[in-house]
Amino acid sequence: EGRLIFLWRLCGGLNVRCHSRTCSTDLFLCLADTDECMFNNGGCQHVCVNTVGSYECRCKEGFFLSDNQHTCIHRSEGMSCMNKDHGCAHICRETPKGGVACECRPGFELSKNQRSCILTCNHGNGGCQHTCDDADNGPICGCHPKYIMHTDGKTCLETCAVNNGGCDRTCKDTSTGVHCSCPVGFTLQFDGKTCKDIDECQSNNGGCDHFCKNTVGSFDCSCRKGFKLLTDEKSCQDIDECSFERTCDHTCINHPGTFECTCNKGYALYGFTHCGGEVQKCATLYAGRVLVFTLTWKL
């Protein structure tokens, strides 16, 4: 720390005082030394000692001079890495001067407090999903175009602008990311993206009176033979075959899902709907009726 040294005047011999200035024993010159300690204690935290052409800081008992040569560090007794209070976030190392110095694992840097460790982009991309920029207080994450930053500041969320946000059908951008939805007749799967047809027939037979057939996005009701589907497309109603003309030659009796023909006395039924003119011997077996036009169904 050289300060301005002025050649003042020749001095007579060794150890001669030059009016409060110091005499150089080599050159027999009076040197004008600046007392740096006069101003602000030379910047020393504890003790400032002026020297020829310079000065030095010293520390009180129990302290040692830090690397900046001005401040003093307390030489804590028992302050070692064995002491739990060393405060190092990652690695603790003991210094030759009797203190501890913290270090960080790879990818981390020591923060301003000299104890905490800050993640850097060099390690695991700073925890960022997409882009990472190192800043004073740690990494700052960014997202690729068409993605938005999650509130965690690290994860990047899809938007509907990319691949429909991964949604099967309808995609909507929200503050928490994309929100997929499905049209009527479909349910959103657990992945939150896929739409799957609802099998309406699984529940209450789809509301169908008789048959329910699942279709993609909907379902169809149908009725057993002899019934017709009503306009509500679910209910089945018996067809009154007797309301049609000439269903039976003589008498028509309607039944749910079917009908029956009977013949007048003296006539025999044949072909389910016709009545023959002469009663055959075997016709008595039928007693003029009892032949029910029965339709069989497979359910």
Note the residues at the interface with Ca ion (CB under 5 A). Answer: 197, 214, 219, 238, 254, 259
Q: Which is nearer to Ca ion, 256 or 266 (CB)?
A: 256
Sorted by sequence, the CB contacts under 8 Å of residue 271 that are 6+ apart come out as none
Cβ nearer to Ca ion, comparing 55 with 227: 227
Alpha carbons 291 and 248: distance in angstroms, whole number = 12
Q: How far is the CB of 222 from Ca ion (least distance, A)?
A: 15
63 vs 293, beta carbon nearer Ca ion: 293
Cβ(3)–Cβ(42) below 8 Å: no
Give the pair of three-digit tokens for residue 252: 């028509």
User: What would the two tokens of residue 228 be?
Assistant: 């017709």
Q: Which is nearer to Ca ion, 178 or 248 (CB)?
A: 248
Structure-token pair, residue 207: 């509301």
CB of 201 to Ca ion, least distance (A): 8
Least CB distance from residue 158 to Ca ion, whole Å? 28
Dihedral (CA of 185, 188, 193, 196) sign: negative
SS3 (DSSP) at 177 = strand
Shortest Å distance, C-beta 89 to Ca ion: 58
The one-character DSSP state at 190 is T
**Least spacing, CB of residue 191 vs Ca ion, in Å:** 19
DSSP 295: P
Q: Smaller CB distance to Ca ion: residue 54 or 214? A: 214
